[in-house]
Structure 1
Amino acid sequence: MPVQYSLSEKGNPSDQSAPKKFYATAKSTGEVTFRSLSKEIAGASTTVSDTDVLAVLNDLSKALAKHLSEGRIVRFGDFGSFSMRLSSEGAESAEKFNSSMIKAPKITFRPGIDLKEMLAITKFEKAK
């Protein structure tokens, strides 16, 4: 099934006089919950139940948060990697910078080979 998109008209924030252009935005066609994902994974296996998978995914989520909060990059093989990204206010010198100037920490996901291959073959269609 192709990924649906819609179009939105946007101006150039750095040049207010430039003509507006249309840009694509991916449209969600639903969501998958942790519980339904665990049932799907368990359904592909004859040795584990959805409860087992759910427990592992919950523990994975906790371990991911722990390692990211300790400044580590978490690599999931061919799936991809997670790391912390920071934005901060500027300081006039290194001596004048302090950690309270760090704003909006974010988690960055870098897809691995499997997801990059999926992106390369994904089809798109305009949402109705």
Structure 2
Amino acid sequence: MPVKYNVTERKNLQDPQAAPKFYASAKADGEVNLKSLSKEIAGGSTTVSDTDVLAVLNDLIKVVSRHLADGKIVKLGDFGNFQVSISSDGAETAAKVTSSLIRNNKINFRPGADLRDMLSTLKYEKYSR
């Protein structure tokens, strides 16, 4: 199934006099939650139940959160890597940089080879209502 996209008009904020241009923007087509993923994973196996898979995935979230909070890179093999990144306000000297200048944080995900390969083979389809 192809990835759907909308067409959106955007102004050039660096050149307000320029004519707006139109861009493709990915459109989500539904969602999949942890419970349905666990059922799907269990369906491909004869030895584990969806409840067992869900329990493992819930524990994975807990331990990944704990290790990220400890400043570690979490490497999940072919799935990819997670790492916390921060942004801060600047200071005049290195000595003046403290945690009080940190204004934002986020989790970066770097996909593994299989997910990167999937991106190179995606098909696209314009979303129509």
For the aligned pair, the TM-score class normalised by the smaller chain equals over 0.9
Q: How does 1:19-38 map to 2 (within 5 A)?
A: 19-38=19-38
Identity %: 59
State the secondary structure of the residue aligned to 2:72.
coil
Q: Which residue of structure 1 lines up, in the alignment, with residue 108 of structure 2?
A: 108
State the secondary structure of the residue aligned to 1:9.
strand
Structure-2-length-normalised TM-score: 0.95
Amino acid at match of 2:22: F
Unmatched runs of 5 consecutive residues or more in structure 2: none
Unmatched runs of 5 consecutive residues or more in structure 1: none
**What is the alpha-carbon distance in structure 2 between the residues aligned to residue 97 and residue 111 of structure 1?**
32
Structure-1-length-normalised TM-score: 0.96
**What is the alpha-carbon distance in structure 2 between the residues aligned to residue 9 and residue 16 of structure 1?**
14
Q: Which residue of structure 2 lines up, in the alignment, with residue 76 of structure 1?
A: 76
Amino acid at match of 1:90: G
**What is the alpha-carbon distance in structure 2 between the residues aligned to residue 23 and residue 65 of structure 1?**
35
1:103 Cα deviation after fit: 1.4
**What is the alpha-carbon distance in structure 1 between the residues aligned to residue 122 and residue 11 of structure 2?**
28
1:67 Cα deviation after fit: 0.7
Matched, 1:67 2:88: no
1:127 Cα deviation after fit: 0.2
CA deviation profile, 1:62-113 (whole Å, cap 9, x unmatched): 0110111111111111111111111111111111111011112000001111
Q: How does 1:1-128 map to 2 (within 5 A)?
A: 1-128=1-128
State the secondary structure of the residue aligned to 1:45.
coil
Worse-matched range after superposition: 113-122 or 9-18: 9-18
1:16 Cα deviation after fit: 2.0
Amino acid at match of 1:50: D
Give the total of aligned pairs.
128
State the secondary structure of the residue aligned to 1:36.
helix
1:22 Cα deviation after fit: 1.2
Amino acid at match of 2:88: S
1:25 Cα deviation after fit: 1.0
Moved beyond 4 Å, runs of 4+? none
1:18 Cα deviation after fit: 2.6
**What is the alpha-carbon distance in structure 2 between the residues aligned to residue 101 and residue 24 of structure 1?**
36
Amino acid at match of 2:81: S
